[in-house]
Chain A
């Protein structure tokens, strides 16, 4: 099992460009999450999906959209990237909504 996979691993965008971060899990988990991690800070929840077909806002949803494409895949879209969105983005999944399993992260720089 690959666990949680994320693509791309690194990305540089110019202000105003758009992009989609991809996440997939092969553990048959119901819940999936997107977080951002800024230097010296913990993880802040952007959006989550408790089950296929549902999505909810987290702590910092502004500037992002998500799609729960199927049970395996949960994508995060930046429609118009801003320098404040420079961060490391982590996707996670959970079988129960409690313990979470994280992917390796996408390092995004917006210039």
Chain B
């Protein structure tokens, strides 16, 4: 089946630093989604991308849909302690409508 490679697996940063993470796939996706999971809770949608090349922001978060449609990037600027959690990317293609493929997540730790 389709697989997503999400990197890095984990990050330890100081409060105030910027963060970058990405997802790559051997398959083309038509939609990329980024979720955040706080400890003990379900994932929450952060940003949805529907068009190749699209750049979308949500507060301090910016995500991009790669032009090849095989990758996506998430940046967090000026990190704060509440950014701690696991960030997941998910890709969907039109042949499997409704079936998202999830990456294994990037665990972010922010040191005050």
Contacts and interface: CB of A to CB of B under 8 A. Distances in A.
B103 A42 contact: yes
Give the size range of A's interface with the partner: 20 to 34
Contact of A42 (B31, B50, B102): B102
A45 B104 contact: no
Interface stretch (B14-22, B36-44, B77-85): B36-44
Contacts of A100: 33, 45, 100
Contact of B41 (A44, A97, A104): A104
Contact of A99 (B4, B41, B42, B45): B45
Contact size class for B? 20 to 34
B92 interface: yes
A102 B44 contact: yes
Interface string B85-99: 000100010000111
Given A59-B1, A94-B98, A98-B33, A42 B105 contact: yes
Grouping DSSP codes into helix (H, G, I), strand (E, B) and loop, the B interface class, with mixed when no group exceeds half, is loop
B47 to A, nearest CB: 10
B43 A43 contact: yes
B104 A42 contact: yes
Given A41-B104, A42-B102, A98-B31, A105 B92 contact: no
A101 B33 CA distance: 12
B99 A58 contact: yes
Contact of B104 (A40, A56, A97): A40
Contacts of A48: 98-99
A43 B44 CA distance: 13
B99 to A, nearest CB: 6
Interface string A39-53: 011111100101000
Nearest to A98: B31
25 contacts: A31-B98, A40-B105, A42-B88, A42-B102, A43-B43, A43-B88, A43-B102, A45-B100, A48-B98, A48-B99, A50-B98, A90-B42, A92-B42, A94-B98, A98-B92, A99-B33, A100-B33, A100-B45, A101-B45, A102-B35, A102-B42, A102-B44, A103-B42, A104-B40, A105-B41
